[in-house]
Structure formats: C-alpha cells, structure tokens
Structure 1
Amino acid sequence: MKTIIYQDNEHILSGMTMKDCKEKESFNMALHACISPEYVMNNRKLLAGYLQSTLEDFVFADQTHSANFHRVIQTDRGKGATDQKTAIRDTDALYTYETNIVLCSMTADCVPVIFYTDDLIGVIHSGWQGTVKEITSTLFIHLQEVEKCDVRKIHVQIGAALSQKKFEVDEDVYKKFAALGYADDFITYNAATNKYHIDNQLTVKRQCELVGIPEANITVDRTCTFQSPDGFSYRQDRLTGRHVSFIKRKGCKP
C-alpha cells in the first residue's frame, strides 16, 4: 500500500495515497471511476485501518470542478465513504473543526491542497477549472472573514499533481490563467506546437500567498502524476483511478 505521509504528529495526520500495482485496481480510491466497487471499498478499508480510523470517519465530496466549499460537521461523518450517492454534493473543498474525521479529496492530475491550523483542517480539489475559479483563494478568504481564522497560521501542503511539462493547453485555457493577473510567471509558450504549458501547482501556491499565508508555511510535492509510475493521470489514461489526499485532526475517541 503506497501512501505518502505529509504530516504525522500528535495533532495532525495527513497524506496522499499513490498508485500501487500490488493492490487491487492499483490502489484506486474512486467509486465513480473504477472497474470494481468491491475492490475500491477494499482499498478504502486498507487506508482506514492504516489511519487507525473506520470508513464511518471518512467524508468525501461529489467533486464538480466548482468553487464551492462545505463546513463538515458530525452529521456529515461517513458521507461518500461507502456510497458515492451520499457524497457532499457539488463541492470541491471541505473543512472542519471536528476531530477524528478524515477529510478526503480525489485527484488524478488536479492539484490537491491539504491545510490545517491548531483547530481547523481542510482539503481542496483544484483542477485547472477550480484554479481559474480561485477556489483556494475563495475558501481562505471565507475562513478569514467568516470563521475569523488567522490565515498567517494556516499551514498548506500542495500534493502531487500534473507537472508544467505535461500540462499542455490551447489558447482558450491560457487566456483564463492569464486573466488571473498573477499566473504569468508559471506559463510558458512552445512555438513549435503552438501550445502553452502551465504550472497549476505554483499558481495555487501563489493564490495561498496572495491571501496572506506565509510562503514558509507552504510545501509543494513536485511529483508529477503523469511521469511518476506511482501516479494516476487522467491526461494519460481516461480510465485511470484516483488518489485520495486526506487529513484528520487527532483527538480522544469516546
């Protein structure tokens, strides 16, 4: 079972599952993109055991490349964990103040964002559409203005995603990134192919910085999901599985 652990201390456990050909469906975590739901459930149970949790502790969103987010509460526990139909609808970011809930975000090239403070955890799914819709900025501004969170105390882990070399787009997508006004440093043009190459990870990192998160609090995993043998890549294979990026805040169970 291949899993990258980004943070494991007395308060926080976070990481990202990776492709593992030794496991069923290569350790695919997606009920909505699988050959066998039974195999995916087996993989999720393996992960739950590894995290010393149960599937009832997991929360998944029905991701739609939106800029929508949801505050997870106790009654959301288990949503999407065993049935895709129960996942939190039309949502691409989750956050919670609860302990022992495992927040999950599924990706296969898109940028996963995992974050935490002393009392708050969250995950964001930022594909290129989510990035140009500024889902990361939108959520962090909400946390600052509504939840009264000090963004200077937020720690961010940007997970493995499609690299700039492999994220090749046409002019229409380029224009959407250029319109952001701060992504130019992360865009190159290949005259031979008439294509643009965009670094989605660093664009998301810049979004974090622009809302006030210190650069020292942001870590980026530069593993390319296309080039790495441990990566699920939708751009490479439309039938690919999905990684899960996860985070839980540890607490004493009753």
Structure 2
Amino acid sequence: MKLIEWKCFDEIEAYTTCSYDDKYLMNMSFNGIDDQQVLKNRQQLAKTLNTDLSQMVATLQQHTTHFIEVHSNDGGRGMFSRDDALIGYDAMYTRDRHLWLWTFHADCCPVLLYCRDQKIVAAIHSGWKGTVGEIVKKVAQHLIENEHCHPQYMYAYIGPSIEQRNFEAKDDIIDLVKKMSFDTRDFYIQKEDGTYLLNSKGLIQQQLLELQVPKQNITISPYCTIENEDLFSHIVEIKVLIVILH
C-alpha cells in the first residue's frame, strides 16, 4: 500500500493514502461504489499501520466549518460503515493517544495540526467552502483559546490537493474569497477569459499565519491531485489523510 508520510516529530505519525496500489484502486470512502471492498481496503491499511479499525475514527463530512473533540471511546465510529459516523463535522481533534483521525479528500485540502505543547492532533477537511469559511483558522483558534495551545508550538501539514495552476474558479467563489477576514488579493489571478486561478493552499496557510503560527512550522505538500495521476484520483473522495499521537 502506497503511503505519503508527513515527517514531523517521533511522537506522531501521519500519512496520505494513495488512490492506487499497482494500478488497483484503493478506495477508502464508503460512497456506494463497492463498500465491501472499501472495508477490506481499510482493514488492509490498519494492518499496515499495526492497528485495527476500532482505534480509528471518521466523520461524515458535509463541507461545513464544524469541528468536534473525539476520544478513545469514539474509536471505530464511521470505520465499519457510515451508519455510526459523526455527521456534519469536517474536522476533529484529540488529546487521546493511539487514536487515528481520518479526513477524506479528492481535490480538497486535507490539513493536519499538531500542538506539541498540549499534545493535541487535529485532522481537517478544507474544500473550497471550508476554506472560504476559514475552518482551519476556526479550529486553530479554538485550540489556542480553549485548549491553551501556543501558536509557536503549533505545526501544520497542508496535504496533497489541487494546485493554483489547475484550480479554476468563477466570480461566485472569488466573491466569497474577497469576504474572508484578511486581504486575499494575492491568492487569485484573473485569466483572460474572466475566470480565476485560486491558491487554496495559500489561503489555508495564511489563516494560520494570521494566528501567529510560524511559517517554518507549516509544511505544504508539493503534490497536485490533478497532475499526479499515478498517485491520486481527483474525481471522487476516495483517499484519506490520517494522524495519530503516540
């Protein structure tokens, strides 16, 4: 199974699953295509990571800016089916060790946070709706204000997603980008046909910079889900970015 690792600190592990394993589709999302095979793929991933599905948790993402704290007793939720998944949350965080947090993505930006001082990890799904709604800033700000995380010790990984050169957006999205809480003019470029190229990874990074997270603490994946077709599918939400605190 192909995994892309975020190498941060020894006390956490974080990986993005690739969409293909020797040209075999490794779908990780219960989307009705072949859920029995998805379950087998998830079990294979758990085995690869020396754990099991009862120590993993997933939400049913709905492109919201809602987030939730999860605990060890949430392990297994959303892993064997969608029936008991945490519905309507696009981000999770936990202090509990040995609990893998999942976030699903196609072209959307998956984001992981690690607050080293408080030993908290978070997994965030930031599609364009979440990005303009500033979900990453909301989660990070909550951790700073309510969980006593210091921005200086907050680390972030913005995972494989669509790059600006491939992200075409129209006025409906750009109008929302312009309403974000900071100056966004540097994050979109207008083309001759009137559409725009949008830098979603940059918008997410800026949300963290606005909270005084040091730029050197933010890692941005160079992978584009459009261009790296040997690794990713950008059509459906079938891959995951996962993180665990040891």
**Same-fold call, TM > 0.5?**
yes
Partner of 2:225: 225
Q: CA deviation at 1:23?
A: 6.3
Q: CA deviation at 1:21?
A: 4.8
Distance 2:79 2:175 in 1: 37
Are positions 1:29 and 2:25 aligned together? Answer: no
Q: Aligned partner of 1:219: which letter?
A: T
Provide the secondary structure at the position in 1 that maps to 2:139.
Answer: helix
Distance 1:49 1:21 in 2: 15
Q: Aligned partner of 1:168: which letter?
A: E
Work out which of the residue numbers 220, 238, 248 in structure 1 matches 2:244. Answer: 248
Tell me the alpha carbon deviations over residues 100-122 of structure 1, each in whole angstroms, 9 at most, x when there is no partner.
Answer: 00000000000000111231111
Q: CA deviation at 1:27?
A: 0.8
Distance 1:45 1:71 in 2: 24
Partner of 2:4: 4
Distance 1:49 1:165 in 2: 37
Tell me the alpha carbon deviations over residues 167-217 of structure 1, each in whole angstroms, 9 at most, x when there is no partner.
Answer: 1111111111122232211100001x2211101011100101111110010
Q: TM-score, normalised by structure 1?
A: 0.91
Distance 1:84 1:200 in 2: 28
CA shift in 2, pair 1:136/1:248, >3 Å? same
* Aligned structure 1 segments of 4 or more residues deviating by more than 4 angstroms: none
Partner of 1:207: 207
Identity of aligned residues (%): 28
Partner of 1:188: 189
Q: CA deviation at 1:86?
A: 1.0
Distance 1:241 1:129 in 2: 15
Partner of 1:237: none
Stretches of structure 1 lacking an aligned partner (at least 5 in a row)? 235-239
Partner of 2:104: 106
Provide the secondary structure at the position in 1 that maps to 2:4.
Answer: strand
- Tell me how large the CA RMSD over aligned residues is: 1.4
